[in-house]
Structure formats: structure tokens, C-alpha cells
Structure 1
Amino acid sequence: MAPNPSPSDEPQDSPDAYVGLAADAAEQRARERGWTAVRSLPPGAIITMEYRVGRLNLEVRDGRVARAWKG
């Protein structure tokens, strides 16, 4: 079984920095900054609630990031 990553394996990057960016630019920036998974979601999407270290969630409205959060 693979070891669980520690919180230090998560990029030291603020999700707030992605709000207002175009969705494709935000996804590209997130991957460049070390996020291992980037999830773009429409407003109100039903999602799983488990926390995954290294994942950045982007709520995209009208092609722009309206909200971003870790996990």
C-alpha cells in the first residue's frame, strides 16, 4: 500500500489567488504550482467530500473561477 502523503506535500499556494482567473489559465497555473489534481466544477455540483491532499477544487461560473478550495 502506498504511504499517505503528509500535509507538507501540498503546494504552499493560496486558493484565493485563483478566483477571477479564466478556468483554463487557473488549471494550468495550479498544475505548474504543484497541485496533483485540479477539479473544475459547475456551481452547485454534487461532489464527494473526502479531503485529498494536493487537490485544488475550482468552481467555474461563466468561464471564470468563482471559488477555489483545497481538498
Structure 2
Amino acid sequence: MAPFSTSEPDDDPETYVGLPQTDAEERARGHGWTTVRSLPPGAIITMEYRVGRLNLEVKDGTVVRAWKG
């Protein structure tokens, strides 16, 4: 099991909106996000907050929403 992070990158999730999915995922990992989760619009997901995780809602290959946790 991967170790849990106790801190998050100093990175604004809003800067990922509008980026192509692959570019956003690479950028997020490069900025220190330990988990990057790409999801389709309306996906049913667990709601527990995970430090170090960035969620990307992707429609037609483009990030339309991004949030921590």
C-alpha cells in the first residue's frame, strides 16, 4: 500500500481547467500530487478526503473541473 501524504502541493486546481487530460495529469504529477484521479462527468465516487489527491473531471478529453481530495 502506498504511504499517505501529510501535505499537498501549493498548486491551484483551477489552473488545470481547460487543459487536455494527458497534459493535466502529467503537470499534476510534476507538481507533486501523489494521486491524480481522472473522472467522467457525473461519475459516482467516494467522498473521503485524501491529502495529496487531485481529481480531474474530464469531458471529451479536456478537464472541465478540478478539485483537491
Structure 1 residue ranges (4+ consecutive) displaced by more than 4 angstroms after TM superposition: none
* Runs (5+) with no aligned partner, structure 2: none
| % identical aligned pairs | 72
Does the 8 A contact of 2:5 with 2:34 survive in 1?
Answer: no
Deviation (angstroms), 1:56: 0.1
Q: 2:10 aligns with which of 12, 16, 32?
A: 12
Task: Indicate the RMSD between aligned Cα atoms, in angstroms.
Answer: 1.4
What does residue range 49-68 of structure 1 map to in structure 2 within 5 Å? 49-68=47-66
TM-score between the two structures when normalised by the length of structure 2: 0.92
Larger radius of gyration: 1
Q: Determine the C-alpha separation between the residues in 1 that align with 2:10 and 2:20.
A: 21
TM-score between the two structures when normalised by the length of structure 1: 0.90
